[in-house]
Amino acid sequence: MIESRHPDDAAIEVNSLYKTYAGKNGVLNEALKSINLSVPRGAIFGLLGPNGAGKSTLINILAGLVIKTSGNAQINGWDIVQDMRRARGSIGVVPQELNLDSFFTPRETMELQAGLYGVPQSQRRTQEIFEALDLEDKADVYARSLSGGMRRRLLVAKALVHSPPVVVLDEPTAGVDVELRQSLWEYMRELNRAGTTILLTTHYLEEAQGMCDQIAIINHGEIVAQDSTAALLARLDRKEALISVDRDIDNLPDDLKRVGIEARITGKRVILIRFSPSQVQMGQLLDAVRVAGFHITDLSTRDTDLEEIFISLTTNRPDGPLHSDIIDPRTDPLETSRSHRQPCNGAERI
Ligand SMILES: Nc1ncnc2c1ncn2[C@@H]1O[C@H](COP(=O)(O)OP(=O)(O)O)[C@@H](O)[C@H]1O
Ligand SMILES: [Mg+2]
């Protein structure tokens, strides 16, 4: 394995990176606009962004497959241009596209790749990688007869041939079945525990939220946020409560309007309120409802999730969208509240 240039170098460091593709009719497409990114060693880092945001462009520049327009990038301290050989030796990339040569078997593919990276025979670990990825059964069949899931596994195997300290996966689970998704993540976590830095791109928010300890959000070729997953989630400081009461509500209690960011009547007897947990306690909200003469019959709350942060950062709405604007049932406050109902006997339960 290639050592890092200095012991304290980041796994990936990207500075003022630009990429402009020359499009049709001379129209330029600015795929990356001054990207700055730092991936600490030992992280499972998520690069999250919608289609066309520039994720693959960035990954492919790091992999040496796309030529940057300007700026620079280092892998474990090795510059992708000046120290190209060592930079490439430090990174293993699983591309988004299933680009395999169909006339080779997985075993031959691995041998070729090992040769390409100059891995000595004694250090080749094809068998071990195949076992970990459950590829042994298919090791000697032509790649063209492999299923999509098996091809994806082989691409992962190929990226690991030279035991790279940094592994990058570009949308590895798009179109992949749940079982493979889980086994892939298990294996990535195992590699990570053994010291490998993992960078993955995804447009699945849940995946990033569940897998990554740090996340950068990219949109239109720009990094719009980079933080620990926890800090990113705390950033919006928003909570939502649904308060059910014992009689029809004609007017919202004034105190409630005062303490909440937003309050509205969502059913005859249900109030939806958004508030900042750092500013307002649940008890204040409940008191405001009681003071107005209502008895509370039910209460449910919901924390912010990455989806809201993502939407608020990738749309130009400074206050973020209302949950009710999101059609996805997973984020519908009413849907969510069904699965998170909490009993309420008037005491504060939060
Ligand atoms: N080879 C290419 N030639 C021209 N434009 C490209 C090429 N690859 C990507 N692009 C454009 O660059 C932008 C970013 O694409 P990409 O990096 O693939 O985004 P993502 O991986 O986040 O979906 C898009 O507008 C895409 O159309
Ligand atoms: Mg892509």
- Summarised one tens digit per residue, pLDDT across range 273-322 is 988 888 888 899 999 999 999 999 999 988 766 666 777 777 654 443 33
- Nearest-CA residue for ligand 1 atom 11 is 31
Q: Which of 89-98, 165-174, 190-199, 253-262 has the lowest mean pLDDT?
A: 253-262
Task: Output the CA 344–ligand 2 centroid distance in Å.
Answer: 46
Q: Which of 128-132, 207-211, 321-325 has the lowest mean pLDDT?
A: 321-325
pLDDT at 128 over 50: yes
Across residues 177-192, what is the average pLDDT? 89
Provide the residues around ligand 2 (an ion) whose CB is within 5 A. Answer: 55-56, 96
The structure tokens 């040569």 sit at 101
Task: Output the CA 51–ligand 2 centroid distance in Å.
Answer: 7
Among all bound ligands, the one having the nearest atom to the CA of 33 is 1
Across residues 193-212, what is the average pLDDT? 89
Cα gap 342→350, rounded to integer Å: 9
pLDDT at 335 over 70: no
Residue-range domain boundaries for the chain: 12-233, 239-303+320-340
Residue 11 burial by Cβ neighbours in a 10 Å radius (0-12, 13-18, 19+): buried
pLDDT at 226 over 70: yes
- pLDDT score of 302: 82
Task: Output the CA 225–ligand 2 centroid distance in Å.
Answer: 19
pLDDT confidence tier of residue 236, bands split at 50, 70 and 90: low
Please tell me which residue, 91 or 258, carries the higher pLDDT value.
91
Assigned token pair, 118: 């100059």
Q: Do domains 12-233 and 239-303+320-340 have the same CATH topology?
A: no
Name the CATH architecture for the domain at 239-303+320-340. Answer: 2-Layer Sandwich (3.30)
Task: Output the CA 60–ligand 2 centroid distance in Å.
Answer: 9
Task: Output the CA 250–ligand 1 centroid distance in Å.
Answer: 52
- Nearest-CA residue for ligand 1 atom 26 is 52
pLDDT at 340 over 70: no
pLDDT confidence tier of residue 68, bands split at 50, 70 and 90: very high
Q: Which atom of ligand 1 is nearest to the CA of 58?
A: 17
DSSP designation for 4: P
- Nearest-CA residue for ligand 1 atom 7 is 21
The per-residue b/e assignment along 302-326, b for 16 or more CB within 10 angstroms, e otherwise, is: bebbbbbbbbbbbeeeeebeebeee
Assigned token pair, 31: 């795929």
pLDDT at 159 over 90: yes
Task: Output the CA 244–ligand 1 centroid distance in Å.
Answer: 48
Task: Spell out which residues line ligand 1, taking CB within 6 angstroms.
Answer: 21, 23, 29, 31, 49, 51-57
Cα-based angle 69, 73, 74 (whole degrees, multiple of 5): 155
Taking the domain 12-233, which CATH number applies?
3.40.50.300
Query: Could you tell which of 17, 32, 57 is best to mutate to test the pocket of ligand 1, judged by most ligand atoms within 8 Å of the CB?
Result: 57
CB 106 within 8 A of CB 134: no
- pLDDT score of 215: 93
